[in-house]
Amino acid sequence: MSDTPDIRVSPVQPAWLSALLALRVADEQRAFVGAVADQLADIAHCPGSEAMAILRHDVPIGFYRIETRADSIAGRAFAQPTLGLRAFFIDQRWQGQGLGQQALAALLSDLATRHPVARQVALTVNVRNVAAIALYRRAGFVDTGELYHGGPAGPQHLLLYALPA
């Protein structure tokens, strides 16, 4: 048996709803990702937004959103087909075990498969969220040098990841 946890991602299924609603981040992280209930309510009003679960052995341990309209992430258009990544997090009980890196790898593989037209993924990350910035850079995201000032928690770096052609 492998020591590597079985991490995969999937569109949210109704059976996972109570487990997803129970996911939490540390108090200091809350401003960066918000609550799952708020994210799900917002998705209902955002065409092109998809709720995604991060699963470990088929149990939800994290959450994120994919935006088919990446301009909603950065407040600007992109020259090539771009997806947006929003509210990515691993539950606080599972943080610090390398699962975020594995979840990002699964997420990026999933996007390349389910959205073959997309050429890149955009996300914004708060300038104070040092751990997340490091995680995204290790996964291959590149800082554009642009700051997005539209979020409620302060300025955010705009990062891009090139999907395989």
pLDDT score recorded for residue 3: 54
pLDDT score recorded for residue 150: 74
pLDDT score recorded for residue 106: 96
Q: What is the pLDDT along the chain (165 residues), one digit of tens a residue?
A: 345 579 999 999 999 999 999 998 877 777 677 788 889 999 988 889 999 999 999 999 999 999 999 998 888 999 999 999 999 999 989 988 889 999 999 999 999 999 999 999 999 999 988 989 999 999 999 999 998 887 777 799 999 999 987
pLDDT score recorded for residue 165: 79
Burial letters for 138-155: b for 16+ Cβ neighbours within 10 Å, e otherwise? ebebeeeeeebeeeeeee
pLDDT score recorded for residue 4: 59
**What are the boundaries of each domain within the chain?**
7-162
Burial class (CB in 10 A: 0-12, 13-18, 19+), 83: buried
Do residues 66 and 40 lie in contact, with contact meaning Cβ atoms separated by under 8 Å? Answer: no
Q: How far is CA 63 from CA 20, 36, 145, 149, in A?
A: 7, 7, 27, 24
CATH number of the structural domain 7-162? 3.40.630.30
